[in-house]
Amino acid sequence: MNLRTLTLRLGNYGFFWICAIALTAFQSALWLQLFGYTSSPYAWITVLAFWSIYRSAVEGLAMAYLLTLTVAPFTAMSLDLILFSHVFLFFCSYMLRQRIYWTGATYFMLVCGFMAMLLPFAHLVGSWVLDDAESANFLFFEWIMRTLLTTLMGLPVYSLFVWLDRFTKKPLPQEARGDLL
């Protein structure tokens, strides 16, 4: 690996980390200012979904850990609960990719929705196992709205992520080549 390749790879990781920070800030701060107390999408899940689909397991787990440190200042959840949720979501979507896969934005949107649907259950199980006081409650309407909004958010974010990969010359895996739709 030469210096140019290393620079492009680190640039790719850095751009995705900046996107994760921006998407998390959008979800936790800007959404509240624009739309009030309506349910917000899990914006940061899109980064984890992209990395679970289009990266190796080691790279995806590294991003799950980095996302844990990125999301932690924006939430009241404990760090171990966030990490448990991220690793659980990563492995579920990684296993989904092994069983069902097609190229393009529609699959990315499906994985974003799948992860958004599983997050409250991961949070519930994690709070039972890891926390002294079970802090998770399940709100059905909010669960449905967040899943739908996260799925819809997947389309514009997918085109941004594919552009970032092309800009930094990060090749997609052979089975993951595809365009917008």
Q: Which two tokens stand for residue 69?
A: 């440190």
In this prediction, residues 24-33 reach a mean pLDDT of 88
Alpha helices in 2-78 (DSSP H): 3-25, 31-35, 45-54, 57-71
Render 43-57 in DSSP notation, one character per residue.
TTHHHHHHHHHHS-H
Q: Which DSSP letter does residue 68 get? A: H
Confidence grade of residue 175 (pLDDT, cut at 50, 70, 90): low
Neighbours of 50 (CB within 10 A): 25
Whether residue 180 has pLDDT greater than 50: no
CATH 1.10.30 fits 3-176, yes or no: no
- The residue behind tokens 């993951």 is 176
Confidence grade of residue 68 (pLDDT, cut at 50, 70, 90): very high
Render 108-137 in DSSP notation, one character per residue.
HHHHHHHHHHHHHHHHHHHHHHH-SS----
Whether residue 172 has pLDDT greater than 90: no
Percentage of the chain modeled with pLDDT above 70: 91
| pLDDT number for residue 181 | 40
Please count the residues of the chain.
181
Measure the CA–CA gap between 12 and 43, rounded to whole angstroms. 19
Q: Which DSSP letter does residue 165 get? A: H
Whether residue 170 has pLDDT greater than 60: yes
| pLDDT number for residue 149 | 94
Distances (CA, A) of 136 to 26, 78, 89, 113, 123: 23, 12, 17, 20, 7
Residue 115's contacts (CB-CB under 8 Å, 6 or more residues apart) are 42, 45, 48, 49, 89, 92, 93, 150
Percentage of the chain modeled with pLDDT above 90: 49
Model pLDDT for residues 122-150, shown as the tens digit of each residue: 888 888 887 766 665 677 888 899 999 99
The domain ranges of the chain are 3-176
Whether residue 178 has pLDDT greater than 50: no
Model pLDDT for residues 79-133, shown as the tens digit of each residue: 889 999 999 999 999 899 888 888 889 999 999 999 999 998 888 888 888 776 6
Q: Which DSSP letter does residue 27 get? A: I
Measure the CA–CA gap between 178 and 128, rounded to whole angstroms. 40
Measure the CA–CA gap between 160 and 154, rounded to whole angstroms. 10
Q: What is the largest CA-CA distance in the chain?
A: 51
In this prediction, residues 51-55 reach a mean pLDDT of 91
